[in-house]
Amino acid sequence: MKILFVCENNISRSQIAETFFNGLVKDKKHKAGSAGVRDKHDGDTIEEISKLTVRSMKEAGLDIGKKKSKKITKKKVKDADFVVMMNHNFDFPDYVKESKRLILWDVEDPKGRDLNVFIKIRDRIHLLVNRLIDEVDMVSKEA
């Protein structure tokens, strides 16, 4: 199954979720990607945009500094079995609503906050991703 994590700019929350998901899945039949609704940073590396995102993940033993921000597209949404919106308090394209399975999480944006907030959000995302993996495993067994 393909999972697409989406946040506003694809520089923190969705990148963290994608990294955790792909690192935690036991088999390669599940794969995650991520994207942002805005294209302000499209193509920029995470280390160029958010040092605290990189630092919080390094403290968890993961280096995401070279990952690049990507903008959401209709194709990415269409190709995903699940689309996970990290927060529903921003406008997202209408075509996202047409996804096969839309999941809304309530994960605050750490932008402008200190490292401790980034770590708390990272840990919350880790917990949510673990739960999602269990859900995806159940759905794939039913299919």
Q: Using one digit for the tens of pLDDT, what is the confidence trace for 45-67?
A: 999 999 999 999 999 999 999 99
Q: Report yes or no on 112 lying in a domain.
A: yes
Residues sharing a CB contact under 8 Å with residue 114, sequence separation 6 or more, in sequence order? 52
**% of the chain residues with pLDDT over 90:** 73
Write phi, then psi, for 13 (nearest 5 degrees): -55, -50
Q: Using one digit for the tens of pLDDT, what is the confidence trace for 18-33?
A: 999 999 997 778 999 9
Give me the residues paired with residue 31 across strands: 2
What's the CATH number where 39 sits? 3.40.50.2300
Q: Report yes or no on 44 lying in a domain.
A: yes
Could you count the other beta carbons within 10 Å of the beta carbon of residue 9?
24
Predicted model pTM: 0.93
pLDDT reading at 34 higher than 60: yes
Q: Report yes or no on 142 lying in a domain.
A: no
Q: Using one digit for the tens of pLDDT, what is the confidence trace for 121-143?
A: 999 999 999 999 988 876 766 65
* Number of structural domains in the chain: 1
Identify the domain containing residue 18 by its residue range.
3-137
